[in-house]
Amino acid sequence: MNISTTPFRGLVIIQPRVFPDDRGYFLESWNKAGFKKAGIPCDYVQDNESGSVRNVIRGLHFQVPPYDQGKLVRVMKGAVLDVVVDLRRKEPTFGQHFKVQLRAKDHQMIYIPPGFAHGFRTLEHDTVFFYKCTRHYHKASERSIRWNDPDLAIDWGTDTPLLSEKDRQAMRFRDFDSPF
């Protein structure tokens, strides 16, 4: 596997080794020893999957301490614009966002450490998104920041996404008192 760093401490892009042949391909999407050696947390307790039509935005979601989660994410089918916002006050990247296109055919993954809000926009119909979490879902600790928050100025490539009611009602970034 090849690990690429980003300007955000702890946020890494992972390119697994892919072995194609005339039948298709094989890849190892997670290996505890390999991830541990690369410095990526390995104590996952929950796997999640979502399926979405094109132009859905899910996010920007996170959980506050002590239920904050690290996430290992990838696209199983289709493609997304993946976006994270750094919520860690002591980091020079606090309040900044990072985005990358993830496509099933490229097999890339991202490890998102605790202290980030995460979201994605589906770029293809019938996109399947998968993530491993380092903590269980805890409803009372869940928070959302508005996808189109003017202070974050994220270009999602659309002004008319399909949204859940929760995402329509999400808070503004400036109203969030970060515990990270």
What residues pair up with 47 in beta bridges, in sequence order? 132
Residues 57 and 81 sit within 8 Å (Cβ to Cβ): no
pTM of the model: 0.95
Q: Cα separation of 114 and 135, whole Å?
A: 10
Q: Which two tokens stand for residue 89?
A: 């006050």
Query: Which residues, in sequence order, are CB contacts of 103 under 8 Å at separation 6+?
Result: 75, 78, 79
Tokens 């589906």 found at: 122
pLDDT digits (tens, 9 = 90+) for 121-147: 999 999 999 999 999 999 999 999 999
| Biggest CA-to-CA distance, the chain | 53
Separation of CA 23 from chain center: 30
Q: Which helix (H) or strand (E) holds 35?
A: helix 32-37
Q: In the prediction, which pLDDT does 61 show?
A: 98
Q: Could you list the pLDDT tens digit for every one of the 180 residues in the chain?
A: 999 999 999 999 999 999 999 999 999 999 999 899 888 988 999 999 999 999 999 999 999 999 999 999 999 999 999 999 999 999 999 999 999 999 999 999 999 999 999 999 999 999 999 999 999 999 999 999 999 999 999 999 999 999 999 999 999 999 999 999
pLDDT digits (tens, 9 = 90+) for 11-33: 999 999 999 999 999 999 999 99
The CA dihedral of 120, 125, 130, 136, to the nearest 10 degrees, is: 70
Q: Which residues are catalytic?
A: 61, 131
Q: In the prediction, which pLDDT does 42 show?
A: 84
Query: Which residues, in sequence order, are CB contacts of 100 under 8 Å at separation 6+?
Result: 13, 81, 82, 108, 110
Residues 122 and 55 sit within 8 Å (Cβ to Cβ): yes
Would you call 136 exposed, middle or buried from its count of C-beta atoms within 10 A (0-12, 13-18, 19+)?
exposed
Among the residues of 45-149, which ranges form H helices?
Answer: none
Q: Which domains does the chain have, with CATH numbers?
A: 7-14+44-175 (2.60.120.10)
**Among candidates 169, 171, 162, 174, which has minimal Cα distance to 55?**
162
